[in-house]
Structure formats: structure tokens, C-alpha cells
Chain A
């Protein structure tokens, strides 16, 4: 049988192509152009070759920021994913408490990011903040504006508070889609709660958890606003992640060339890691 091919459908894709070209492809091309040149302003550029890439790749500053970024990303993933799943498991699936829980969970996601940063900054101040004062009253020597360890603790706590909800909501969506028949069958077989989790709930949540891990992974690599308001990358450079360092180079020092080179390396790292994550998780799903 001959199928009719109607290529008119391609026309409907054109608006998206135009949109992506204007907001992604053209700016990205410009960044590539900047990354091989030097400028002193006035739109005058001088050819610099791959100097900036070499400089960024061999600089200790970039290596440190990248290591800090990796540490941050894997720490928050290790906390937020299990915690989110655990909270989703304890949430009611029927009854009047469902909307209450859902709204409570969605609240942190609705707060503007700079407000989250400001809130946590004030909350954690050692002299007037509730968290800071309480910790000091309990005998801890806590000061996130001076001690790197405390700054990291506050940063990770803030991210967990802000974003665990996303994992909870996604995991919960996966959980409620499981038909009752599965639980009834498990009950007849005398399955223990852990077996139910391992063989029914976890496999059914796999797809949404894949999305949750990917989203959290990419977003944590791009964290800027909350971090910039909370610590600004300090004390010293101790919480300077890639995005903060990039803005310092691009806007603070106005080194467009090195900043462009760093942006491209940053972009390639996110792209590669996301691809690896996605491929691994999809492969596990197929098996």
C-alpha cells in the first residue's frame, strides 16, 4: 500500500525553528565568535585564536570552580532524590489531605529565586537570623559569611529546601498512576513494604525520576540567583561555582573572550553529562 506523504506538516515547525534560531542558535554563534577574539569595547575585535580556551582549560581557577560545581551537584542529587521519594511515599493518595499536601509542597517552587536567596540569607545570619542564632545558641560556632564549611552547609540546605519539592511532585505523580490491582496482588502474595517499594513503586516511578534527576542535574549546574544573593560566591572563593565565576569574568572584569570560551566549555560539559545521564537511564529502562 502506498502511503500519502503530506509534507505540509513541516511548515508548522517553522515558527519553532525561527524562535530557536533567534533565542539560542544566533546568540550561541555570537559566543563562538567572541571566544576566538579579544575586544576593548566599541565593537572592535582582534583575532586571538584558541588562546582563551587554552587559558581557561589550564587555569586553576576554572578547575576549582568546576570541582566545587561537581561537589555541589552530586551532593544535592544525593540528598534531594532519596528525600523526595521518601516524602512522596508518605503523602496520602486519597482524601482531603491530598490538595493540602500538594500545595504545601508546591510553595517553595513558587517563590522567586532571588527571594529564596534573600530569605535564607536573613534566616541564616548568625546575629539576627532564626537559623543562625539557634545554631549558635546550641553551641555551634556557625557563621556562613565567614566560614566556608558553614557557607556550604547553608547553600546545600537552601537548595534542598527549594528544590526537593520538585522531586516530590514528580515522584508523587508516578506513585498515583499505579493501579490498585498491583497493591492487591502484592498483598495476596504477602509482599513486605520494602518488596512493594522495590518491585512495584520504584519501577513505576523510574520514568518520572529520570526526568527529575535530569532537571535537577541541569538546574543545579546553572544555579546562579539564589547563590549570588546568599553568599555571592564567598567567603573568599569557597562557594564560587561555575556560573558565579563566569559572571565575574564576563561582567566584573569585562573579559568577553575568556568568558565566551568558558561559557562554551561549561555548555559542553552540561551537554555531555546530561547525555550520559539520559543514555544510561534509558538503557536501564530498556533492560
Chain B
């Protein structure tokens, strides 16, 4: 008996060990490409390392860089712009994306064509989308204003009016990425057993009731993934702001990543400070996503 038990535990142990061994290659890669850079970045953020003053001049300042962020008006301005942009885009993309998914789920013919049209922008890189829209929205010679003029409307200063620019960026983003949410939600709809819906129909539930009480509970986990993934992406916005408005006018559309980049390799070469901002910003992104997940879960628990 005893020997048998020993053999069993021995095999289990061996399997466990083998399991750990299989993990080694990916752990090594993770350590080299993720863990080391993160630690290096965290350490560097404690230094005043300004390449303009000399790449070999690295001065330890402790939390000095982090304290500086709190009085940096431009950092908070960029963060404010980023949050406004992300929240507006997320709402618009989610509502539009969900509607498109419902429609695509319903239609019987031509679904492939509509799906292709919706997915097409996803295949374009952010920089290409941004440059394309910058040309189309060019206030003087862009096609959008030419269309407005041709139907007798006044041209709009899409890129130079401080009150409009954020909406301009939202417009570009929504055009570019709505298909992403559509795809996830459509997958959610299609994965739901059809008989539940049919039962609902037989029981006399109208289409709103069917959506609210049958489809939505099933879709919630899909919505959670879609919203969290999109929020992370939206908060990290860079190319669209950088190429469409360059953050202007007067920083009305400057976003966090852009400001961090300008302070670092993209301009001032103040490496320590820009890394400190990047770290603080990552913490902020994680916190926001946690809040979103919480909100969706609370919404679910209440039912």
C-alpha cells in the first residue's frame, strides 16, 4: 500500500516539476522583455536623467520626479483631455457597436458585405487613419468641408478650434475602431443558444424584453471584455492626436501619451521625468479599468 502511495505522489511531483520546466522558456522571455524593462524604468524614474545636459549625468532625486508631476499643469491638462476623449469615444463606440452587432445578427442576407464594411477600418494602422482624416478634415481644402460647402453649410474649423478638436478626434476614433466592439458583441450574440430566445418569443416577451432579460445577461461578460479592452486602448491614444491635431490649438487636444513622449525621446529628452509620468499614467489606466469592471459587475449583481 505504502509503496503504491509513494509511487503516486512521486508521479505527481514529477509532473509538477515538468510543468514548471515547461514554463521556463516563457519566464525567461518575460523576464528579459517585460520584467527587466519595468524594473529598469521604475529605477530610472527616480533619477534626473536629462540627455540634453549630458547622457552620462544621472542624478538620484528620489521621488522628485513624481512630486514635480503634481505641479505640472500641462500633465493634468493632457490627462483631462485623454479622459474626455476616452469616455466620449467609448460611449459612442459601444452604443454604435452594439447596435451594429444587433443588426448584423438580425439580417439574413448581405451580412458579409456589411461586416466587411465595418471591419475594413480595423485593418488600417492608426497612423494611416490619422493622416487620411487630417487630409479629409483640412479646413481649407479637405473633402469634408467641401461637402458641407456644396450643400450650402458653413465650413467647420475641425483642427484649429479649441472647442471642437476633441470631438474631431472622437469622430476619427469612432470611425476607426467601432468595428472592434461590433465583432466582440456579435460573437456574444451568436454564442447564445437560439432556443432560449425562441422560448421567450413563445412566452410573449417583446423584443426589448427579450434583449433586456435574455440577451443582455448573456452579453454582459462580452461587454466587460470589450469595454475594458477598448478603454485601455483609448487611454493610450497617441497617433491620432499626434497626427491629426498635433495637440493643438494651445494644447486643447494634447493627450497623455503625447505629452509623455514630448518630454522624453520626442523632444525634451528629459528621460527620468517622462518615465515617472509613464509609470503614474499606467497606474491610472489600471485603476480606471478596475473601476469599469466593478461597475459592470455591480450592474450584474443587482439583477
Q: Do A and B bind each other?
A: no
Hey, which bits of chain B sit against chain A, CB under 8 A? none
